């Protein structure tokens, strides 16, 4: 029987799942860092969205939980006119790896995703670049263009506002 919960029964993702997520993201990141085409282009991994904001929740009705991380890459002048090459390089690295090749994975507009069947989760890898003019951008594959981004700003805002409410803002967000 599928578990159904009201919005007020939704809970933060537990310690076990958070540790599993961290292990899997580190494994993906290490795979990308070991790839011959990407290893010299990788700058950092940056958790994004509900994960660093600590609003990630246990999903209801058997749906998977997901988490995103930005894969910061060096600006590649040779790819300036075809920015989707950043996403393509990430996809290729995972698609060529024996572990991830056999898993459900693919490309979306702004990310490369990997689905984990038995643990009801998926991870989105979002290629990002800090351009020479200082702008932080992510790739929009569909439009083959850059999109400005500021994930740190949103996370900092969230932490500040959550602190003002003594941790209650995060609780309210998890319930809705």
CATH topology of domain 7-175: Beta Polymerase; domain 2 (3.30.460)
Mean pLDDT for 20-24 is 89
pLDDT at position 141 over 70: yes
pLDDT at position 148 over 80: yes
Residue scoring higher pLDDT (13 or 1):
13
pLDDT band at 146 (very low <50, low <70, confident <90, very high): very high
The whole-model pTM stands at 0.82
pLDDT at position 147 over 80: yes
Closest CA to 19 of 121, 171, 168, 151: 121
- For residue 169, give both structure tokens: 């803002």
pLDDT band at 153 (very low <50, low <70, confident <90, very high): confident
pLDDT at 53: 66
Mean pLDDT for 27-49 is 94
pLDDT at 143: 96
Residue scoring higher pLDDT (90 or 65):
90
Long-range contacts at 130-139 (CB < 8 A, ≥ 24 apart): 130/43, 130/72, 130/75, 131/75, 132/75, 138/70, 138/110, 139/83, 139/84, 139/86, 139/87, 139/110
Query: What is the rounded average pLDDT for all residues in the chain?
Result: 85
Q: Which of 29-38, 113-122, 139-148 has the weakest average pLDDT?
A: 113-122
* Domain extents in the chain: 7-175
* Percentage of residues in the chain having pLDDT higher than 90: 54
């Amino acid at each position: 029987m599928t578990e159904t919960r009201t919005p007020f029964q939704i809970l933060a993702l537990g310690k076990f799942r958070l540790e599993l997520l961290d292990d899997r993201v580190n494994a993906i990141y290490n795979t990308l860092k070991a790839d011959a085409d990407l290893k010299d282009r990788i700058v950092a991994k940056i958790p994004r969205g509900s994960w660093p904001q600590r609003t990630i929740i246990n999903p209801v009705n058997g749906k998977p939980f997901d988490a995103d991380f930005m894969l910061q890459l060096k600006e590649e002048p040779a790819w300036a006119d075809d920015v989707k090459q950043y996403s393509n390089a990430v996809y290729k690295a995972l698609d060529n790896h024996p572990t991830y090749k056999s898993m459900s994975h693919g490309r979306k507009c702004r990310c490369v995703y990997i689905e984990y069947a038995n643990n009801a989760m998926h991870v989105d890898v979002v290629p990002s670049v800090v351009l020479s003019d200082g702008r932080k951008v992510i790739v929009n594959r569909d439009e083959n263009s850059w999109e400005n981004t500021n994930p740190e700003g949103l996370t900092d805002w969230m932490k500040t506002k959550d602190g003002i409410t003594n941790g209650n803002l995060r609780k309210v967000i998890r319930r809705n």
